[in-house]
Amino acid sequence: MIIHDESTERAAGNHHPLAPLTQAQLAHLVRLCVTAAAERGLHATYNGSDALLLEPRTEAFAPGFSPPLIAGLTNLARVVARNRQRDWPHLVATHFDELRINLHTGPPPPPADPERDLLLSLTPKTSLPPDWTAQTPEFLPSLLAVPCTYDDNIATLHCDPSDYGMTPAEAHQAGLANLCRLTDTVEYVENDGAQLAVLSDSPFAASRALVLDTVLRETLHIEDPPHGVLVALPVRSVLLIHVITDLSVLPALASLLAITLRTHTELPGPLTPWIYLAAPQGSGAPMVAPPWTPATTQPANLRDLRPSPAFLALAQTLSNLE
């Protein structure tokens, strides 16, 4: 069972899974974590990648937690990277205080009223139990929509709908319906004649991509954009949208790439570094994820990144209209 944090796709150019830390900073963080864990009755072993394996030294874990537990370090690494190194011991101690409480109080109970409380959260496939991901379709490559609840600033994933009397389809529909009811904080950014809408300040900002038509209609006041939109969801708390109208889509793509690659590397809750083209399907059909296509190639080395064939075809169409 995974109890904290997530591993995810990572932009090329990162030299280890816990960028933006240097190797020396990573070693220092691991030492702090192992010490903090020991002070709280936990034996921690670094897995050499992006997580600790935790086992109890003194008190047993609460029912529902079976050692060794995987405690991801991705988010903690991004938090400490934005602070002075002298503050790291306090940040790590706070992190392990919260973790210890969770381990000894047990996992949260299933939602009492799932029809009212469930949301969907986009989550990296690698952070979920393999037996669950094998049966769940991807929303985008390596990203799954997982039923969850959100209370006291804590999101809890509920992977087994039978725990609260629902089928997977019923849980998905309830989560979508409640996701549609959320509101967005949006800021518009202009760059080289291209306008980007930046939705942020919510742990479900990126997950609102699951209800993109609702976001376009109710937040951006756009109905059925004829050429579609560019969409990026680099981290949980950010959703970037460019409504395509003309060849300003070219600087828009460049701006989105710059923002997305940096955000995906530096902020907590990484999802995907790539930009997608969500094209309208006609007849009022929603711009759901399966028709989405990458706006660029997705190479291992970012120096090899190029516009995708679908994006080039769109640019040619827009050029012919001018």
pLDDT digits (tens, 9 = 90+) for 47-65: 988 889 998 887 777 776 7
pLDDT at 77: 94
Residue 203 sits in the same domain as residue 243:
yes
pLDDT tier, 153 (very low <50, low <70, confident <90, very high otherwise): confident
Residues 192 and 314 placed together within one structural domain of the fold? yes
- Which of 137, 154, 179 is where one domain is finished? 179
**Helix residue ranges per DSSP H, the chain:** 23-39, 74-81, 88-105, 114-117, 130-133, 168-180, 212-214, 249-266, 309-321
Q: Is the pLDDT of residue 290 over 80?
A: no
Residues 61, 138 within the same domain: no
125 is in which domain, residue-wise? Answer: 114-179
Co-location of 227 and 313 in the same domain? yes
Looking at the structure of the chain, the number of domains it has is 3
The whole-model pTM stands at 0.84
Whether residue 208 has pLDDT greater than 90: yes
- Regarding whether 230 and 165 lie in a shared domain, the answer is no
Residue type (1 letter), 242: H
Residues 141 and 236 both lie in one domain: no
Q: What are phi and psi of 255, to 5 degrees?
A: -65, -45
Both 125 and 64 in one domain: the answer is no
Instruction: Quote the CA–CA distance of 29 and 19 in Å, as a whole number.
Output: 12
User: pLDDT band for position 289 (50/70/90)?
Assistant: low
Is 213 found in the same domain as 132? no
Domain termination site, one of 58, 77, 105: 105
127 touches 8 (CB < 8 A):
yes
What pLDDT, on the 0 to 100 scale, is given for residue 122? 96
285: exposed, middle or buried (Cβ count in 10 Å: 0-12, 13-18, 19+) = exposed
Instruction: Mark which of 70, 105, 140 sits at the end of a domain.
Output: 105
Quick one: 296 and 201 in the same domain? yes
226 and 278 within one domain: yes
Q: How many CB atoms lie within 10 A of CB 112?
A: 9
Mean predicted lDDT score pLDDT of the chain:
87
